[in-house]
């Protein structure tokens, strides 16, 4: 008797008298994909296995119970998990680097491409539009993808601190130079930046919850 994942999901489907087309519609894949899984030409991902166990009314233990012929599928799951982790880490890095790039370009633009007459326009455009929108969008992506899991809430402090430093590194620093004295940072901007980030993460998390439910 065969004990591989393909034969198990095929037997479970036939027991329920479902066609491959019906199962494909439930899983959101093609009928050919179902056929390939059942014939052992390819492997289903773990999410699809969970959905099939619910659809067929069988336990995951039954579908995934270790047999010699299942070792290939376990290797596939391990490889798939590593790919997902690698992609997740890459996306986290992209989130941080893209924010830092926008933040750095703003610093450069202020010190090298603006004059006194441009200061007000710069403030409206960067500090009150570009940076808050960037913070909100990136925080929403963090929440939607659940980056860093519970640690994602720590990113609100990061965004708040960077928002304060953006103002201190431009207008406040220019004022320090002009008056030849050190002025304290506007600590309240940390709160503003953190609030914007928190709203973004909350909305992203709600989006994620709605999608998976």
pLDDT in tens, 112-136: 877 766 767 777 788 889 999 999 9
Instruction: Decide if 70 is inside a domain.
Output: no
Does the pLDDT value for residue 155 go beyond 80?
yes
Judge if 149 and 194 occupy the same domain: yes
Domain identity same for 55 and 144: no
Q: How many C-beta atoms lie closer than 10 Å to residue 62's C-beta? A: 12
Q: List the alpha helices (DSSP H) in 16-70.
A: 20-27, 31-38, 46-56, 60-64
Boundary of a domain, candidates 26, 50, 65: 65
Mapped onto helix, strand or coil, the DSSP state of residue 146 is: coil
* Alpha carbons within 13 A on the beta-carbon side of 23: 28
pLDDT at site 172: 87
The per-residue pLDDT for range 53-99, each reduced to its tens digit, is 889 988 877 777 654 445 556 566 666 666 666 777 888 899 999 99
Under 8 Å CB-to-CB from 140, ≥6 apart: which residues? 200, 201, 203, 204, 207
Q: Determine, yes or no, domain membership for 72.
A: no
pLDDT of residue 3: 46
Q: Same domain, yes or no, for 39 and 137?
A: no
Same-domain check for residues 208 and 144: yes
Q: Do 52 and 101 fall within a single domain?
A: no
User: Do 92 and 60 share a domain, yes or no?
Assistant: no
The total number of structural domains in the chain stands at 2
Asked whether residue 43 falls in the same domain as residue 93, the answer is no
Confidence band, pLDDT 50/70/90 cuts, at residue 176:
confident
pLDDT at 72: 59
Give the dihedral of Cα atoms 78, 54, 27, 89; nearest 10 deg: -30
Would you tell me the crossing angle of helices 155-167 and 188-212 to the nearest 10 degrees? 140
Quote the radius of gyration of the chain (alpha carbons, Å). 26
- Is the domain of 133 the same as that of 191? yes
Asked whether residue 10 is assigned to any structural domain, the reply reads: yes
**Residue span of the structural domain in which 45 resides:** 5-65
User: Does some domain include residue 125?
Assistant: yes
Structural domain contains residue 134: yes
Give the model's pLDDT for residue 69: 47
Is residue 74 situated within a structural domain?
no
Residue 81 within a domain = no
Whether residue 166 is contained in a domain is answered as yes
pLDDT band at 203 (very low <50, low <70, confident <90, very high): very high
User: Do 109 and 41 lie in a common domain?
Assistant: no
> What's the pTM value of the predicted model, to 2 decimals?
0.63
Residues 199 and 157 in one domain: yes
Q: Domain check: are 107 and 37 in the same one?
A: no
What average pLDDT does the segment 4-18 reach? 89
For residues 58 and 127, state if they share a domain: no
């Amino acid at each position: 008797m065969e004990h591989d994942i393909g034969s198990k999901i095929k037997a479970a489907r036939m027991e329920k008298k479902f066609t491959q087309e019906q199962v494909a519609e439930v899983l959101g894949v093609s009928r050919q994909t179902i056929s390939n899984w059942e014939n052992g030409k390819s492997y289903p991902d773990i999410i699809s296995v969970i959905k099939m166990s619910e659809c067929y009314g069988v336990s995951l233990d039954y579908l995934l119970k270790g047999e010699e012929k299942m070792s290939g599928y376990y290797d596939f799951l391990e490889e798939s998990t590593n790919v997902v982790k690698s992609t997740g880490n890459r996306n986290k890095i992209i989130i941080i680097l893209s924010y830092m790039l926008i933040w750095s370009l703003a610093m450069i633009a202020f010190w090298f491409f603006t004059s006194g007459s441009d200061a007000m326009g710069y403030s409206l455009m960067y500090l009150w539009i570009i940076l808050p929108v960037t913070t909100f969008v990136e925080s929403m992506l963090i929440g939607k993808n659940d980056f860093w899991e519970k640690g994602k809430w720590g990113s609100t402090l990061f965004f708040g601190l960077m928002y304060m430093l953006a103002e201190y590194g431009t207008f406040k620093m220019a004022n320090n130079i002009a008056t030849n004295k050190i002025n304290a940072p506007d600590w309240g901007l940390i709160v503003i930046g953190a609030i914007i980030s928190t709203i973004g993460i909350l909305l992203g998390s709600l989006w994620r919850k709605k999608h998976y439910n």
